């Protein structure tokens, strides 16, 4: 290996130990799904049931958390904050950042839809590491810097009337902790939500210990064990956070509206029961086989949706770093490979999609080179600042524009996703009009019976529609993971095509190579950095990026 790769590998091993996270349960393999790839190979329905089984651990956790004094404080402080004229701010990165945006938008949608609650619409905000742009496309390395999180909290003008709920699946994401520390410095009430044992985090990581042991911080430990797909915290970790945080603000909404609160543990259990029914499992498995067949034929999937578009964005964006798939590309980019899956609302323009979905102006980062220098950004960022402004986000054509770009292969599919039997008549009508231009088409109806794949379930009358959003999330998580398992992008229950776009993922990839390749962490790390260097030398912007992990594993196999 070159001296450059060797130095980079040893620098990571010696000087970045704070990102060596194999001791965390959320980074470990779950014994319940140890043979996930084999289960899907045997039968897609078996794989679906195996994936779903781990969600029961979320239920066990939720039953305890909903009865805790910490959850009661979360609800009480949130209600008091709004009544006193303050704002609630959710903060996250990656999956939890997209969740933070979703929670804000769910709140705003509930308020603008109810005249009695309209005055509260501007009471909930979100901080997504990298800004709103990162909802659609991951912003590399931002999560590694507390200074970036502090800057975003400053720009939102968090003050002593406000309340922050920092959400980090692992409990250690630097940018998210940065928002928490900045909010504390400004006198805001503070909550920290994560999915690893608090004592374990405090013992091993100084940045986590500082937050967890701060008496001003109310900690909600949502530990529910390892993920169904090792390290993929977009699954059970974010599911638990969406359930608990969503339940808290739905409780607030119901109190403001004079309505009784729901029994969220009971409602979540009922939802799992329905999703695990033989009919629902068959529907989900049937759709997984449909989507996998499109990809095998080198076709593309275009999801069409309206009210639950942001939920679908969350899942499809996260497929890129999780399974090394091409990310969404902008309308002025004709070189990068098309994303396998894309999302559109075919009834509105791109600008109108964001206006409807957000119910607020876009909140993107407009930072200059001088800003990055002041925050101590790495040279690679200072020399080439990422293009993540609002004008760049609008280049992702998520509205009715340029549908033809999604049908280049002649083997492509339009997939309508609705919630209920009559989610939105206009998007159903547009789907029926557009599907003739695609080689294939189908309709997934979550909670409905008028689709090609009907995941039948009913929901309580919650103002936030929390359980509907939970249902869409659980179904899409199962679908996206299942499709990758069927296509061979999962080894055991490890995402063996993982990207290495930040330090946490470098560590995860190293551990994966070490386990599958049966070698030491040190040797695996050296091979990983060597692979990254070799791949960069031969990179072609028009081709899909190769997984460094697969590069190493294929080399070990002599391929």
For residues 224 and 82, the answer to whether their CB atoms sit within 8 Å is no
For residues 235 and 169, the answer to whether their CB atoms sit within 8 Å is no
Q: Are residues 151 and 247 in the same domain?
A: yes
Please compute the mean of the pLDDT values over residues 224-250 and round it to a whole number.
96
Please compute the mean of the pLDDT values over residues 128-156 and round it to a whole number.
93
Q: Are residues 135 and 205 in the same domain?
A: yes
In a domain, 278, yes or no: no
| Residue 22: predicted pLDDT | 87
Last residue of a domain, one of 250, 266, 282: 266
Q: Are residues 147 and 19 in the same domain?
A: no
Please compute the mean of the pLDDT values over residues 292-314 and round it to a whole number.
95
Q: How many CB atoms lie within 10 A of CB 525?
A: 24
For residues 241 and 99, the answer to whether their CB atoms sit within 8 Å is yes
In a domain, 204, yes or no: yes
Residue range 397-437, pLDDT digits in tens? 999 999 999 999 999 999 999 997 555 778 999 999 999 99
* CATH number of the domain bearing residue 98: 3.40.50.10490
In a domain, 521, yes or no: yes
Quick one: how far is CA 127 from the chain centroid?
14
Q: Are residues 229 and 124 in the same domain?
A: yes
| Residue 425: predicted pLDDT | 77
State the first-to-last Cα distance of the chain, in angstroms, to the nearest integer: 18
Question: Average per-residue pLDDT in the chain?
Answer: 94
* pLDDT of 381 higher than 90: no
| Residue 422: predicted pLDDT | 53
Residue range 20-56, pLDDT digits in tens? 888 889 989 999 999 999 999 999 999 999 999 999 9
Residue range 456-471, pLDDT digits in tens? 999 999 999 999 999 9
In the β-sheet with 217-221, what is the strand arrangement from edge to edge? 124-128, 88-92, 163-167, 189-194, 217-221
Last residue of a domain, one of 266, 283, 298: 266
* pLDDT of 175 higher than 80: yes
pLDDT band at 382 (very low <50, low <70, confident <90, very high): confident
What domain range is 537 assigned to? Answer: 3-29+494-557
Cβ-in-10-Å burial (0-12, 13-18, 19+) of 490 comes to buried
Q: How many CB atoms lie within 10 A of CB 69?
A: 9
In a domain, 290, yes or no: no
Q: How many CB atoms lie within 10 A of CB 295?
A: 19
Q: Are residues 20 and 66 in the same domain?
A: no
* This prediction's pTM: 0.93
| Residue 111: predicted pLDDT | 97
| Radius of gyration of the chain measured on its C-alpha atoms | 22
Quick one: how far is CA 151 from the chain centroid?
22
Say how many domains are in the chain: 2
In a domain, 444, yes or no: no
Residue range 470-525, pLDDT digits in tens? 999 999 999 999 999 999 999 899 988 888 888 888 998 999 899 888 999 999 99
In a domain, 418, yes or no: no
Q: Are residues 66 and 215 in the same domain?
A: yes
pLDDT band at 304 (very low <50, low <70, confident <90, very high): very high
Q: Check residues 23 and 110 and name the one with the higher pLDDT.
A: 110
Q: Are residues 73 and 195 in the same domain?
A: yes
* pLDDT of 92 higher than 80: yes
Please compute the mean of the pLDDT values over residues 65-84 and round it to a whole number.
98
In a domain, 523, yes or no: yes
pLDDT band at 212 (very low <50, low <70, confident <90, very high): very high
Please compute the mean of the pLDDT values over residues 150-168 and round it to a whole number.
97
Q: Is 44 helix (H, G, I), strand (E, B) or coil?
A: helix
Instruction: Determine how β-strand 217-221 pairs with β-strand 189-194.
Output: parallel
What the block records as the tokens of 87 is 């704002």
pLDDT band at 559 (very low <50, low <70, confident <90, very high): low
Alpha-carbon distances of 463 from 113, 122, 311, 459, 492, rounded to whole Å: 9, 16, 17, 11, 40
Q: Are residues 25 and 135 in the same domain?
A: no
pLDDT band at 553 (very low <50, low <70, confident <90, very high): confident
Q: Are residues 136 and 223 in the same domain?
A: yes
- Among residues 393, 442, 123, which one has the least CA distance to residue 289? 442
| Residue 423: predicted pLDDT | 56
In a domain, 68, yes or no: yes
Q: Are residues 106 and 246 in the same domain?
A: yes
Between CA 221 and CA 243 the distance in angstroms is 13
Q: Are residues 20 and 116 in the same domain?
A: no
Last residue of a domain, one of 218, 247, 266: 266
Phi-psi region of 298 (alpha: psi -120 to 50; beta: other; left: phi over 0): left
Q: Are residues 198 and 258 in the same domain?
A: yes
């Amino acid at each position: 290996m070159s001296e450059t790769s060797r130095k980079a590998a040893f620098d990571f091993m010696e000087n970045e130990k704070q990102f060596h996270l194999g001791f965390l349960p959320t980074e470990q393999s779950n014994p319940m799904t140890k043979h996930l790839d084999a289960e899907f190979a045997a039968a897609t329905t078996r794989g679906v049931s195996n994936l779903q089984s781990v969600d029961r651990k979320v239920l066990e956790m939720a039953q305890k958390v909903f009865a805790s004094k910490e959850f009661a404080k979360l609800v009480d402080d949130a209600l008091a904050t709004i009544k006193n004229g303050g704002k609630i701010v959710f903060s996250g990165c990656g999956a939890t950042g997209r969740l933070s945006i979703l929670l804000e938008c769910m709140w705003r949608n509930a308020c603008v839809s109810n005249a009695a609650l309209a005055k509260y619409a501007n009471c909930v905000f979100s901080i997504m590491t990298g800004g709103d742009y990162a909802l659609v496309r991951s912003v590399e390395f931002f999560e590694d810097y507390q200074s970036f999180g502090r800057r975003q909290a400053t720009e939102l003008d968090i003050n002593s009337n406000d309340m922050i709920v920092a959400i980090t699946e692992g409990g250690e994401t630097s940018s998210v902790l940065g928002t928490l520390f900045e909010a504390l410095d400004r006198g805001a009430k503070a909550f920290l939500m994560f999915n690893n044992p608090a004592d374990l985090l405090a013992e091993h990581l100084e940045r986590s210990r500082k937050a967890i042991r701060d008496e001003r911080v109310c900690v909600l430990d949502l530990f529910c064990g390892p993920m169904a797909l090792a390290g993929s915290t977009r699954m059970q970790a974010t599911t638990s956070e969406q359930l608990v945080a969503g339940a808290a603000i739905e409780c607030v909404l119901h109190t403001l509206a004079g309505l009784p609160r729901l029994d969220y543990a009971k409602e979540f259990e009922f939802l799992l029961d329905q999703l695990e029914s033989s009919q629902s499992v068959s529907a989900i498995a049937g759709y997984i086989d449909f989507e996998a067949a499109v990809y095998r034929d080198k076709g593309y999937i275009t999801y069409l949706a309206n009210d639950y578009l942001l939920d679908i964005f969350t899942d499809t964006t996260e497929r890129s770093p999780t399974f090394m798939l091409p990310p969404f590309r902008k309308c002025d980019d004709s070189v990068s490979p098309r994303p396998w899956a894309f999302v559109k609302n075919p009834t509105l323009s791109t600008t109108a999609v964001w206006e409807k979905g957000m119910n607020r102006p876009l909140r993107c980062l407009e930072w200059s080179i001088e800003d990055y220098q002041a925050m101590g950004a790495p040279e690679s960022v200072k020399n080439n600042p990422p293009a993540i402004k609002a004008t760049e986000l609008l280049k992702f054509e998520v509205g009715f524009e340029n549908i033809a770009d999604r049908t280049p292969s002649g083997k492509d599919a339009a997939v309508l996703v609705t919630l209920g039997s009559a989610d939105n008549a206009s998007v159903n009508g547009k789907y029926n009009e557009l599907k003739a231009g695609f080689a294939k088409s189908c309709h997934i109806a979550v909670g409905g019976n008028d689709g090609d794949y009907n995941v039948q379930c009913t929901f309580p009358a919650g103002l936030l529609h929390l359980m509907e959003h939970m249902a869409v999330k659980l179904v899409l998580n199962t679908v996206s993971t299942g499709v990758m398992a069927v296509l061979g992008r999962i080894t055991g229950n490890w995402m063996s095509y993982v990207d290495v776009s930040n330090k946490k993922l470098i560590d995860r990839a190293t551990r994966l190579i070490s386990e599958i390749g049966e070698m030491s962490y040190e040797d695996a790390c050296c091979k990983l950095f060597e692979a990254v260097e070799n791949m960069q030398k031969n990179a072609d912007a028009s081709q899909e990026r190769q997984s460094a992990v697969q590069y190493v594993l294929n080399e070990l196999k002599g391929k």
